[in-house]
Amino acid sequence: MYGWTGNILRIDLSHRIYKKESFDEKFALKWVGGRGFALKILWDELKPGIDPLGPENKLIIAVGPIAGIPAPNTGKTVVAAKSPLTGGYGDGNLGTRVTDQMRKAGYDVIIIEGKADNPTYLYIEDDKVEFLPASEIWGKGTYETQDWLYTRYGKGAGLLTIGQGGENLNLYAMIRSLEGRAGGRPGIGAVMGSKKLKAIVVKGSKPIPQADPEGMKKLGTEDLRKVQQIDRETGWSIQGTTGVLAWCNEVAALPVRNMRKTFHPEAWKIDGERLNAARVATYGCPNCTMRCGITILDHEGHKSELDYENIGMLGSNLEIFELDQVASLNYLCDDYGIDTISAGGTLAFYADAIDHGAIEGDFRFGDAEKAKELLRLAALRDGKLGNMLANGSLRMAREIGHGSEAYAMQVKGLEISAYNCKFIPGMALAYGTSPIGAHHKESWVITFEIKQTERGSYGPEKAAKVIELQRIRGGLFEFIVACRFPWIELGWDVKNYAIYFNKITGLNWTVEDFWKVADRIYSLMKFFWVREFPNWNRQMDYPPMVWFDPTNADKEGPIAGKILELDKYDRLLDYYYEQRGWDKRGIPTLKTAQELDLIEEATEVQKFTKLE
């Protein structure tokens, strides 16, 4: 078997033991890697209903066959667990040196189970694992933690760390790596914190098994150069992801004031042009020639790397239009190790709830200094308010009541990222059906929808496009494990990934083979949710009700008077389910399970609900 090391490293923190296990070719071909491996392992090994923050939950770190090989943008790793924020399957994907170090150490998957007695960090070097005391770094932010570890293990070591957010079980705590990388929005950092695991250091020295290493090296190096050339010609990385901010503002899709508004006259102050002008450094992931991490100095003088989601959720959504202050909020989220999207969404919900009299408080939209203080409370779970904020907007809404759940901007408990879909049905469907809760990473259909279709239409072609993108983004790039930006931003053909895959594995796959794996993964993710929530119904795939409320329609601007319509959204959801082979509840049918080779899993899920 080429392309996979075939090894899983299983680490038990409770008993301070570890062992190397192997997987066979059948497992590799069925699940390929990354999200596929993580999902299948969690499905097989977690008992339904376990406490995501208890020792029974498992933290999975998984790479895929392309990960770490010099080829366009392969420095990514998947981190996954049962999510404490949503209660369902949760994962994220971050740029890190762990990717190639882990492969070189001889593993495709690391499973971390149990819970350490005391704060611990792991040092993994090839076949050796050390359980080391983390007392000197426990309580510290991610930047100080990284520096401490780099001093001991050198800059080339692969590092994954958590900050105070993960330690204090903030439900949207993430795992951090490098200068500006963060992954695991649905609280994967909190799972790591619940295990008293502060950091993981990985170093490896073995070759990554490949069918044609020389051919792949030559092709990969050439393609990295080509991608760099296209990036230079198009100028994409001049503004990187933040180039989309001005467009969102123009087409009324920007999150403003807890997504009550869709554009703002001051948005230009925090757009990609301003960001690029303020740039002091550029960061990137390993094996990348696009380097999209635009870094500026924040209000206090720290270096802070900003992407569009960070600015949208901590800037316009909070009506903060001073770029250096947005950078400060972003820096704090990075240092505490909490998700900027959920943090921004939860703070915006809190300000909105105060505005609507659902809760008393002195936080107002636009107040950057107060927002900094609230981030600290949330990260440290300081006091009653800190605890509420640390639980995310849905739990907070359920606690404070007064109908506020309608404007908690989340799906399945995960806060919506920075696209305001008041009147963008296809993108609302993408959020509704995202298998980890509302995240644009699965299907970023918005540009197709606004540029190439009638914006207010609910036709089957929109459902089809959402699925097509989910196959590529939530499927392919999450199981071969590579950054999707060369494809989405520069038009780098997905067929290239089949070429790399075949050179590395010695197989002869086409992209159609990839789509089958993607569909299998999507159906199993749904089974995972259904097993956790046996009364599953289609309302779990709805976006927040405020997007259907005519009184919430814009009063002016490009979409004045327009709002989503629930009966039409339901029809769109039906098209989506039909095309996926799922029933009216949104659950894969037995026939679909059979076609996707998921019969064993379907038998298991039948213990919880009857399949059609």
Query: What is 469-524 written as a DSSP string?
Result: HHIIIIIIIIIII--SHHHHHH---THHHHHHHHHHH-----HHHHHHHHHHHHHH
Q: Decide whether 444 or 548 has the Cβ nearer to ligand PTT.
A: 444
Q: Decide whether 80 or 424 has the Cβ nearer to ligand PTT.
A: 80
Does residue number 293 form part of the binding site for ligand SF4 (CB under 6 A)?
yes
Convert 563-596 into a string of H (helix), E (strand) and C (coil).
CCCHHHHHHHHHHHHHHHCECCCCCECHHHHHHC
Determine contact, residues 211/28, Cβ cutoff 8 Å.
Answer: no
**Cβ 595 to ligand PTT, closest distance in Å?**
26
**Cβ 181 to ligand PTT, closest distance in Å?**
4
> Considering only residues 47-76, where is the footprint of ligand SF4 by CB under 6 A?
73, 75
Determine contact, residues 312/241, Cβ cutoff 8 Å.
Answer: no
**Cβ 427 to ligand PTT, closest distance in Å?**
15
> Considering only residues 301-330, where is the footprint of ligand PTT by CB under 6 A?
305, 307-310
Does residue number 106 form part of the binding site for ligand SF4 (CB under 6 A)?
no
**Cβ 228 to ligand SF4, closest distance in Å?**
11
Q: Decide whether 75 or 474 has the Cβ nearer to ligand SF4.
A: 75
Q: Tell which residue, 79, 82, 84, has the closest CA to residue 95.
A: 79
Q: Decide whether 11 or 288 has the Cβ nearer to ligand SF4.
A: 288
> Considering only residues 540-559, where is the footprint of ligand SF4 by CB under 6 A?
none
**Degrees, nearest 5: CA angle 343-347-350:** 145
Residue nearest to ligand PTT (CB): 92
In three-state secondary structure terms, 318 is helix
In three-state secondary structure terms, 126 is coil
Does residue number 441 form part of the binding site for ligand PTT (CB under 6 A)?
yes
**Cβ 65 to ligand SF4, closest distance in Å?**
17
Among 40, 76, 203, 264, binds ligand PTT (CB under 6 A): 76
The amino acid at residue 50 is I
Tell me the torsion sign for CA atoms 539, 543, 548, 551. positive
Determine contact, residues 410/438, Cβ cutoff 8 Å.
Answer: yes
Which residues, in sequence order, are CB contacts of 497 under 8 Å at separation 6+? 66, 476, 480, 482, 511, 514
> Considering only residues 268-307, where is the footprint of ligand PTT by CB under 6 A?
285, 305, 307
Determine contact, residues 517/475, Cβ cutoff 8 Å.
Answer: yes
In three-state secondary structure terms, 374 is helix
Does residue number 292 form part of the binding site for ligand SF4 (CB under 6 A)?
yes
Determine contact, residues 86/391, Cβ cutoff 8 Å.
Answer: no
| Per-residue mark of binding to ligand PTT, 84-113 (x: CB under 6 A) | --------xxxx------------------
Among 34, 95, 186, 437, binds ligand SF4 (CB under 6 A): 95
**Cβ 264 to ligand SF4, closest distance in Å?**
27
Does residue number 163 form part of the binding site for ligand SF4 (CB under 6 A)?
no
Does residue number 180 form part of the binding site for ligand PTT (CB under 6 A)?
yes
Among 350, 448, 477, 479, binds ligand PTT (CB under 6 A): 477
Determine contact, residues 7/107, Cβ cutoff 8 Å.
Answer: yes
Does residue number 146 form part of the binding site for ligand PTT (CB under 6 A)?
no
Does residue number 105 form part of the binding site for ligand SF4 (CB under 6 A)?
no
Among 285, 327, 396, 408, binds ligand SF4 (CB under 6 A): 285
Q: Decide whether 137 or 490 has the Cβ nearer to ligand SF4.
A: 490
| Enclosing H/E stretch for 8 | strand 7-12
**Cβ 486 to ligand PTT, closest distance in Å?**
10
Does residue number 471 form part of the binding site for ligand PTT (CB under 6 A)?
no
The entry of ligand PTT, ligand SF4, none that residue 288 binds, CB within 5 to 8 Å by partner kind? ligand SF4
Q: What are phi and psi of 294, to 5 degrees?
A: -80, 125
Q: Decide whether 108 or 339 has the Cβ nearer to ligand PTT.
A: 339
| Enclosing H/E stretch for 83 | none
Determine contact, residues 255/312, Cβ cutoff 8 Å.
Answer: yes
Does residue number 158 form part of the binding site for ligand SF4 (CB under 6 A)?
no
Alpha-carbon distance 298 to 145, whole Å?
20
DSSP symbol at 228: H
The entry of ligand SF4, ligand PTT, none that residue 220 binds, CB within 5 to 8 Å by partner kind? none
Q: What are phi and psi of 295, to 5 degrees?
A: -120, 130
| Per-residue mark of binding to ligand PTT, 213-252 (x: CB under 6 A) | ----------------------------x-----------
Q: Which stretch binds ligand SF4 (CB under 6 A): 114-122, 166-174, 281-289, 395-403?
A: 281-289
Q: Decide whether 246 or 483 has the Cβ nearer to ligand SF4.
A: 483
Q: Give the chain's largest Cα–Cα span.
A: 65
Q: Tell which residue, 385, 412, 410, has the closest CA to residue 400.
A: 385
Q: Decide whether 69 or 546 has the Cβ nearer to ligand SF4.
A: 69
Determine contact, residues 219/71, Cβ cutoff 8 Å.
Answer: yes
Q: Tell which residue, 107, 97, 109, 93, has the closest CA to residue 208.
A: 107
**Cβ 593 to ligand PTT, closest distance in Å?**
26
In three-state secondary structure terms, 10 is strand
Alpha-carbon distance 165 to 170, whole Å?
5
> Considering only residues 458-517, where is the footprint of ligand SF4 by CB under 6 A?
483, 485
The entry of ligand SF4, ligand PTT, none that residue 320 binds, CB within 5 to 8 Å by partner kind? none
Site residues, ligand SF4 (CB under 6 A): 73, 75, 95, 284-285, 288, 290-293, 483, 485
